[in-house]
């Protein structure tokens, strides 16, 4: 690719995106965030093995949810869903799910109540997703993301903390409402209907009760 090609990546933009990367692991494990779960199918097996080794070297306790061997016909839900359930239950502090593209892993993980998973391939989202959206599981495409970049993103993800601002909590509550919808009769917003609509309800009830 010619350096003058219009499709060539802009070096300055690339540096801006990656300037938040933490190449070296944090010198001390932050708080009690030291249990990391990881799972992958055949498409992410090699990357899983690499990241698990790097995490152990950095002092993290790694829970490997499989696959434990490279099997070309295995299925990502068999490994990613148990990992996601462990994240939701607090058995592990955060999770890393990997498949060939990362799409299936993120899709499966987000089906588990309490999991907030994102398919990440750049550093800004790796920390902003945690800071603003309390991301607790990161997903990679094992056939798309190189080992070095995946390790940088993992470190950025693990070092980030949820900011807890009111607007972030408000938005997360709206997302959580989709997972645990409140019945209409118990919905506190039910009493905030416009007065005209509230007055119509008894009239409709009486009309329906006529013989």
Query: Cα–Cα distance between 70 and 48 in angstroms, integer?
Result: 11
99 is catalytic: yes
Decide: helix, strand or coil at residue 38: strand
Where does residue 96 rank: exposed (0-12), middle (13-18), buried (19+ CB within 10 A)?
A: buried
Q: Is residue 96 part of a domain?
A: yes
How many domains does the chain fold into?
Answer: 1
Q: Is residue 19 part of a domain?
A: no
Query: Cα–Cα distance between 113 and 107 in angstroms, integer?
Result: 12
pTM listed for this prediction: 0.71
pLDDT tens, the chain, 211 aa long: 444 444 344 433 333 233 333 434 443 444 556 899 999 999 999 999 999 999 999 999 999 999 999 999 999 999 999 999 999 999 999 999 999 999 999 999 999 999 999 999 999 999 999 999 999 999 999 999 999 999 999 999 999 999 988 998 999 999 888 888 765 444 444 334 344 343 343 443 433 444 4
Which H/E stretch holds residue 158? helix 147-159
Q: Is residue 14 part of a domain?
A: no
φ, ψ at 28 (rounded to 5°): -130, 145
Q: Position of tokens 């955060």?
A: 94
pLDDT for residue 192:
42
Q: Is residue 123 part of a domain?
A: yes
The active-site residue out of 20, 99, 139, 169 is 99
pLDDT for residue 78:
97
CATH of the domain at 82: 3.40.1400.10
The single-letter DSSP state of residue 120 is -
Q: Is residue 131 part of a domain?
A: yes
The domain of 100 spans 31-211
pLDDT for residue 178:
87
């Amino acid at each position: 690719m010619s350096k003058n090609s219009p499709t060539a990546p802009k070096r300055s933009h690339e540096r801006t995106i990656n300037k938040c990367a933490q190449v070296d692991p944090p010198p001390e494990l932050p708080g009690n965030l030291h249990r990391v779960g990881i799972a992958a199918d055949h498409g992410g097996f090699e990357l899983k093995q690499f990241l698990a080794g790097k995490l152990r070297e950095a002092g993290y306790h790694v829970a490997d949810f499989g696959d434990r061997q490279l099997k070309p016909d295995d299925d990502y839900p068999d490994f990613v869903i148990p990992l996601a359930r462990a994240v939701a239950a607090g058995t592990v502090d955060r999770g890393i799910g990997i498949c060939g593209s990362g799409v299936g892993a993120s899709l499966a993980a987000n089906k588990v109540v309490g999991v907030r998973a994102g398919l990440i391939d750049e550093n800004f989202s790796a920390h902003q997703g945690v800071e603003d959206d309390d991301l607790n599981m990161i997903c990679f495409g094992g056939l798309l993301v190189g080992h070095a970049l995946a390790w940088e993103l993992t470190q950025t993800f693990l070092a980030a903390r949820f900011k807890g601002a009111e607007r972030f909590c408000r938005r997360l509550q709206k997302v959580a409402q989709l997972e645990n919808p409140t019945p209409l009769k118990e919905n506190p917003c039910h009493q905030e209907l416009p007065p005209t609509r509230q007055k119509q309800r008894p009239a409709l009830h009486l009309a329906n009760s006529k013989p």
